[in-house]
Structures are given as C-alpha cells and as structure tokens.
Amino acid sequence: MQKIILTLKDIGDLIVFKHSVFALPFIFTAMITASFLRDDTPWFGWSLLCFGLVCAVSARNFAMAFNRYMDKDIDKDNPRTANRPSVDGRIGAKNLKIFIIVNALVFIISAYFVNSLAFWLSFPILVVLGGYSLFKRFSELAHIVLGLSLALAPIAGVVAVSESIPLWSVLLSLGVVFWVAGFDLLYSLQDMEFDKNKGLYSIPSIYGDKATMFISAIFHALTFVFWLLFAWAAGLGGWAYLGCVISGVILYQEHRIVRRDFSKIDRAFFTLNGYLGIMFFIFILIDLL
C-alpha cells in the first residue's frame, strides 16, 4: 500500500494535477452554454459529465507526461525543474512512455463514445498537445501553442454536447489562447537566463523582460475582448458580462503583482489564474440559470 501511495504521489508531481483548474472550468463553461442554447438547460447529463472528465484528465495527463519525457534533457539542468520525477529517476523512461500511450488511448476511446466528431478530432488534438514540447526548441511561438493546447478544451466541450463548433465557442477559445499565452509569458520570466544559455526560443530570452510584460499585457487585453465577444455571440446576459469584467480586473491585478516583484510570479500564475477560471464558470452558470 505504501508503494502505491508513493507511486501516486510521484504521478501527481509529474502531471501537477492541481493545474487542471486552468482547463476544466472552460470545458464545462462550453458544455453548459452549448446545452442551454440547445435544450434551454445548462445540464447536459451524467454520461457527458463522466466522459468529459475522463477526456479532460487523460488529455492533460498525455500532454504533461509527453512534455516531461521530451524535456528531460532540458529539465535536468534547470534548478527549478531538476527535482521532477521524470528527471530524478522516480519515474523511468519506460514507465513514462507507457503512461503516455495509455492516456492517449483512454482519450481516443472516450472520445469515440462521445460522438463521431469528437472521435475524429481526438487525433489532431493529441498532435497539438504534444507539439508544445517541440516548439520551444525552434520558435518563440511556443507560448501561443501552449495557449492553443488549453483552448482546445472549450472546443472539445461544445463538440461533446452539440457535435458542432459554433462561433461563440471559437471566440471563447481565442480568449483562452491569449489568456494562457499571456500568463505563460510571465511565468517564463523565471527561466529567462536559463533559456538564453540553453538556446531555447522563449520570448523573455529573446526580447527581454520589459518587452515580455508588454506583450503579455496585449495578450490579456485580447483575452478580455474575445470573452466579451463570446458573451455577445452566445446571447448571454449581464451576469456573463460581469464575469468578463471581473476576469479583466484579475488579469490587471496579476500584472501589477509581477511588475512590483518578480518573486511573486508563482502567486500570480497559479492563485489568480486558478480563481479566474472558476469564477468565470460560476458567472456564466448564474447567467444561464
């Protein structure tokens, strides 16, 4: 039993499960919106709830494990990441490969039981999720690719419910793209010097901290605009717009924290962005109810 507990802890350290708080609220925001627009109720059923959770968790497990597997040569030299289970030997390369393959298969099989569009989209989704790990080696667009990876969550959510990709879901996803890319830019400031020395293509290592913070602010301004457009395109009401405005305030506060003190990047990255996703979902749910 002790061995099982330690293994689960190592897997938890590998995939940082608590960061699921970034994607899950937007999957379910898309699902409740699609359900309401189709059936006049935000409840989409227990079956889709279960399959949605399995798809979300397995896709994220695949993405994180694949990233850890591909980045082992980078992570071992970075003091911030040298104690990851994929680096220090707690999870070997063979077990990591098995974990990646199993989660990919679980994701594809679960998508098959959702609907045919979800099944066929599961393959390019896995390609995009794995692509982020490669992009940082040759393009500073890696931040956008990471944003796109999480932005597939609301697209997957609406596909699961309505087997279509309406305009409002695209606008919601574009907001997620720039939200994630914006806070990833701030988070990457921690590794600016390391990325320079390693020859990695991050925006902080190429353009410096001031330019990075400016680009991040632009990205988050676009996030605010796209989420307002989402509320408009979906025909939502005042509570939804209020949720968008509060999201904008949280993003503004995030930038204030980082500008005052770079050592607070972790707080801005996890705490504020975690609250933002949950808060956004709650306001959309209240609006629909």
Of the listed ranges 53-62, 113-122, 264-273, the one predicted with least confidence: 264-273
Number of residues written out for the chain = 289
What pLDDT digit, counting tens, does each position of 207-259 carry? Answer: 888 888 899 999 999 999 999 999 999 999 999 999 999 999 999 888 888 77
262 burial level (CB within 10 Å; 0-12, 13-18, 19+): middle
Where in the sequence is the domain holding 8, given as residue range(s)? 2-288
More confident residue, 2 or 45: 45
The residue written with tokens 């793209």 in the block is 177
Note the pLDDT of residue 257. 81
Q: Give me the chain's average pLDDT, please.
A: 84
Q: What is the CATH number of the domain that holds 159?
A: 1.10.357.140
The percentage of residues in the chain with a pLDDT greater than 90, rounded to a whole number, is 42
Note the pLDDT of residue 89. 66
Q: Which of 240, 235, 230, 234 is nearest to 284 (CA)?
A: 240
What pLDDT digit, counting tens, does each position of 151-188 carry? Answer: 998 999 999 999 999 999 999 999 999 999 998 888 88
Give the count of domains, the chain: 1
Per-residue pLDDT, averaged over 10-32, amounts to 72
What pLDDT digit, counting tens, does each position of 51-77 carry? Answer: 988 988 888 889 888 888 887 777 676
What is the rounded (10 degree) CA torsion for 13, 261, 226, 211? -110
- pLDDT interval class at 18 (50, 70, 90): low
170, two tokens = 């695209």
**Residue 247 carries which side chain, given as an amino acid letter?**
S
* 8 Å CB contact between 146 and 132: yes
Note the pLDDT of residue 266. 63
**Residue 149 carries which side chain, given as an amino acid letter?**
S
* 8 Å CB contact between 141 and 147: no
